[in-house]
């Protein structure tokens, strides 16, 4: 079974876009001017400079947003 040999990771981020300004809601220390939206090599839209937090379960996820 191939599912036994695979692994999954989950990372969360939280961004606010208001009046064309970006704000990282998980990183209060970062200024909004250091965040930029761009397309990566695969054609995905990414926000550079956005804080991402790895979570393993629902409790960790809920703690990120507190």
**Residue 19: HSE in the Cβ half-sphere, 13 Å Cα cutoff:** 1
Q: What pLDDT score was predicted for residue 58?
A: 94
Q: Which residues contact 61 (CB under 8 A, 6 or more apart)?
A: 10, 12, 55
65 exposure class (CB count in 10 Å sphere: 0-12, 13-18, 19+): exposed
List helix spans (H) across the chain.
58-64
pLDDT reported for residue 21: 86
Low-confidence ranges of the chain (pLDDT < 70): 1-3, 30-33
């Amino acid at each position: 079974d191939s599912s036994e040999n695979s692994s999954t990771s989950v990372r969360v981020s939280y961004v606010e876009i208001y009046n064309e300004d970006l704000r990282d809601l998980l990183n209060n220390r970062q200024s909004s001017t250091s965040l930029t939206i761009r397309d990566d090599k695969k054609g995905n839209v990414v926000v550079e400079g956005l804080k991402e937090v790895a979570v393993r379960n629902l409790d960790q996820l809920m703690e990120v947003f507190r």
